[in-house]
Amino acid sequence: MNIDIRSEKGMAIAVLKGEIDHHSAKKAREQLDSFIINMQPDVLAMDMSAITFMDSSGIGLIMGRQKLMKECGGRLEVRSPQESIRRVLRLAGIERIVRIT
């Protein structure tokens, strides 16, 4: 998986590409946490339009970043997941804690 993080209009956008599994989630977690702690964005939008596969590690990745963003006074959004990924998020109940657009 590849992540590109950029600031745009007062928010941070993390574009995730590829597959989220146990191994890639660890790398993503480290990269996103470092960015959140150092930059303290008000909003972090995780653009998941290019994620082709996600297992439960992806759910953990989202939940952990939501918790960290909340602790830092911000919020997390998940943007543009493909229908198969959206289904996984819905089954896990993620839309109750994170805005999905």
| For the chain, the helix, strand and coil percentages under 3-state DSSP, each to the nearest 5 | 45, 35, 20
What is the rounded distance in angstroms from the CA atom of residue 30 to the CA atom of residue 91?
Answer: 26
What is the rounded distance in angstroms from the CA atom of residue 94 to the CA atom of residue 72?
Answer: 20
CATH 3.30.1120.130 assigned to 2-100 = no
Q: How confident is the model at residue 8 (pLDDT cuts 50, 70, 90)?
A: confident
pLDDT of residue 10 exceeding 80, the answer is no
What residue ranges do the domains of the chain occupy?
2-100
Mean confidence (pLDDT) of the chain: 95
20-68 pLDDT, tens digit each: 999 999 999 999 999 999 999 999 999 999 999 999 999 999 999 999 9
pLDDT for 88 equals 94
pTM score of the predicted model:
0.93
What is the token pair recorded at 38? 């150092």
pLDDT for 45 equals 98
What is the rounded distance in angstroms from the CA atom of residue 49 to the CA atom of residue 86?
Answer: 10
